Amino acid sequence: MPALRICLLSQNYPPSTHLGGIGVVVHRLAAGLSAAGHRVHVIARAEGQDRESTQEQDGVTVHRVRPVALPRGLWRLERLHPTLGFRIRYSVRVNQQLQALIAQGEMGVVVSPDYNGEAWWFTRVGKRVPLVVSLHGPSFTARQGRGSWRARLEDWLERDLVNRADRIHAVSGNIADLVAERFHVLRQRIQVIHNPMDLQAMGAVRNGSPAGATPCVVYAGRLEHRKGADVLARAIPLVHARHPQTQFLLIGRDSAPSTAERMRALAGGSANRMRFLGQQPHAQVLAHYRHSTVCVFPSRVEPFGTVGLEAMACGKPVVATTGTGFVEMIEHGVSGLLVPPGDADALAGQIIRLLDDAALRHRLGTQARATIERQFTTAQILPQWEVLLRQAARAEVPR
């Protein structure tokens, strides 16, 4: 079959210092599609004061761009709503780059994440090739309730993008259901393809800890309410009552200057066993997984949970939450453990259960790795993407 010409959008892309879940997944997808013989471009954001650039990176052409000034008539918007103004300015620049690639014959299909609405301007003024919108988790998943009028405007932009897509992809059935209800999209329009895992990048599996090693529980994710950071903080004293030497490593950006301090306050006398590492390079996060005893992801909302997938790929026992994307990778008691979101007692109980039982840790870690090898490798996920992209490339685009 002929090679596809694809452009993937992701504001963050390696070697970004602020690499998030979308950037990690897009990087794996781009590398896999390129290795399969397809022509792949990525449009990402130039960081800090970096200039715009175009470079070849592992067989992928990466264009790093900067937001433009708002079009005439919209400049007041950024004063009223800086976040939305930035998203539109960036979307305008993305559209300019896409139009240049289309004019050069380099583009057959575009893939944009829902979050931030990166391809929104493209859908409004210049969609000349099919568009796939990938549901990783729109802005509303990061909030409690409907939010302010500013938040509702952000939702409108992302909803408008999703509804204008030629094809819709979701990283999990969980987020597909949420978006179908919230954005009034027919559920059958959304195709679920789970995120791929590059097992080679995970490094050697290290199942278990050396005898006598200090138990180490690793959390990775932003320190915020939706990720359940407060729930973990309340669980830590309960764990220390049984295992007082256990160390907790918390990896991720503080969503607000005071979140870490609030977590320390919730943990009380156990706070001295918590280490806040901040945002870490992706390779370092994987290293922490490999050296952990248990990995915990107590999210209240989690569209999929690539962090859990990575910890499982490292052969580690994982405690995660029901009602989230984690249930699509973890079978409770077989490949990990699941607790209700927001339940600190249940979370502490399952962490203690694992710290008490080395054989259970080994069994769950082994089955976790086997689950990844069986269902989530790039070799298994990539063909599903190729089918979706070929279907999208044949779509009729309204002129």
Give the mean pLDDT of the chain.
Answer: 91
Structure tokens at 393: 């490339």
User: Could you give the domains of the chain?
Assistant: 5-196+378-393 (3.40.50.2000), 199-375 (3.40.50.2000)
Cβ atoms < 10 Å from Cβ of 283: 9
Whole-structure pTM value: 0.90
Reply yes or no on whether the pLDDT at 211 is more than 60.
no
Percent over 70 (pLDDT), the chain: 93
Reply yes or no on whether the pLDDT at 203 is more than 70.
no
Reply yes or no on whether the pLDDT at 207 is more than 70.
no
Amino acid found at 313 = A
Q: Which residue has the higher pLDDT, 208 or 296?
A: 296
The model's pLDDT over 241-268, given as tens digits with 9 standing for 90+, comes to 999 999 999 999 887 778 899 999 999 9
Residue 17: predicted pLDDT: 63
Instruction: State the alpha helices, DSSP H only, in the chain.
Output: 21-35, 75-80, 82-103, 120-125, 149-163, 173-182, 199-202, 229-242, 259-267, 282-290, 306-313, 344-356, 358-375, 378-393
The model's pLDDT over 281-333, given as tens digits with 9 standing for 90+, comes to 888 999 999 999 999 999 999 999 999 999 999 999 999 999 999 999 999 99
Residue 16: predicted pLDDT: 74
3-state secondary structure 61-126: EEEEECCCCCCCCCHHHHHHCHHHHHHHHHHHHHHHHHHHHHHCCCCCEEEEECHHHCCHHHHHHC
Cβ atoms < 10 Å from Cβ of 250: 23
Residue 213: predicted pLDDT: 79
What value does the mean pLDDT take over residues 41-67? 93
What value does the mean pLDDT take over residues 274-279? 94
What value does the mean pLDDT take over residues 175-188? 96
Cβ atoms < 10 Å from Cβ of 127: 21
Reply yes or no on whether the pLDDT at 376 is more than 90.
yes
Contact between 214 and 248 under an 8 Å Cβ cutoff? The reply is no
CA trace torsion 315, 239, 305, 223 (10° rounding): -130
Reply yes or no on whether the pLDDT at 212 is more than 80.
no
Q: What single DSSP character describes residue 223?
A: B
- Cis preceding-peptide flag for 244 (omega within 30 of 0): no
